[in-house]
Amino acid sequence: MLQKIVFQDNIYQLSRSIDIVYEGLMLDLSDDYFFDKTVDDLLFFDAAIHKFLKQLESTTQISGYVNILHSIYSCQHRYILLIDIILSGKAAMQNRFASIISKLQGIRTIHSVLQTELVRTVQKCDKSNDSRDIVSSNELSELLNF
């Protein structure tokens, strides 16, 4: 239970941080103050999502595993949207991002692939959960003959 809470709290915080950077890029921010911080945040978000996914690979039996995967998917989706706004040229400080556009394109490609894998994992887990929840006719008979 503790692991679920820790995962959910950390993923929530990461998602909110992504949202804040996204919203900041919609403002007319001074690149002297915010560009380096924004780049640091972008790289931190990338590393944190990778770390969450790696931790989850080894802990597939924790309570709420599928819910955690859904949360990570949502967080990763927000991150991809953040990168997309920069790649589309619609972000504040756009002229400064030119130096890291190729890096951001690579990060975006990797996260798109990871997101596809995440969807497959969730679908596989959902199918296995469905089969566990089915009560056989023998089990039903036994339950009704108390």
**Segment 15-37, tens digit of pLDDT:** 999 999 999 999 998 999 999 99
Burial class (CB in 10 A: 0-12, 13-18, 19+), 85: middle
> Which residues of the chain fall below pLDDT 50?
1-2, 130-133, 135, 146
Which ranges in the chain belong to alpha helices (H)? 2-24, 31-57, 65-87, 94-97, 101-132, 137-144
Rounded to the nearest 5 degrees, what angle is found at the Cα of 47, between the Cα atoms of 74 and 45?
A: 50
**The two three-digit tokens of residue 121, written as one number:** 């994992």
Are 125 and 66 in contact by the 8 Å Cβ rule? The answer is: yes
Count of the separate structural domains present in the chain = 1
The pTM of this model reads 0.81
What's the domain range around 27? 2-144
